Amino acid sequence: MTFKIFLPSRGVLAQVMLLLMAGTGCRTLGPLPPADLKGPGWTVRQGQAVWKRPHGAVEIAGDVLVAWRDGRSLVQFSKSPFSLVVCQTTPRGWEITIPVENRRYSGPGRPPRRMIWLQLPFVLEGRAPPRGWAWTMTPDNNWSLKNGATGESIEGYFSQ
């Protein structure tokens, strides 16, 4: 009795390796720990905002909370009694959750520029908005962040 051992060709082996690497190369991070805004050093702004979603979708008005400290940030947009969007960034990653749709997105590094809520803390810290975006803030705490490509925007004001 003779046994034959099947050895894949180099091309097949290379394809299998590529699939294994691609499958593990893009993964979401585990949930970020909750931000403790009672800790020292947090800058916190609260107010009202209107979110104009991309491509002419219905506008949503609600309460907004933005906080940042040492490379961390938290944004919460809510329409009582629901949180509509909750975002966090850390020096190592980002996370955005949409509780009413039971969705969560996250990733390592700096957040994607297309996610408007994740950009808000950066511009409030004084950083320039992404290319193609417009940011304005008036002395009376009215502000606006707009993505010129999609038309998505957030306009609002912060309480004193």
Q: What is the pLDDT of residues 69-79, one digit of tens each?
A: 998 999 999 99
DSSP class of residue 26 equals S
Residue 42's identity, in one-letter code, is W
Q: What is the pLDDT of residues 80-114, one digit of tens each?
A: 999 999 999 999 999 999 999 999 999 999 889 89
Q: Would you state the structure tokens that stand for residue 59, as one six-digit string?
A: 């506008």
pTM of the model: 0.77
Sequence spans of domains, the chain: 43-158
CATH class of 43-158: mainly beta
Place 23 in a pLDDT band, splitting at 50, 70 and 90.
Answer: very low
Residues 6/11/17/20 CA torsion (nearest 10 deg)? -90
User: 23 φ, ψ to 5°?
Assistant: -70, -25
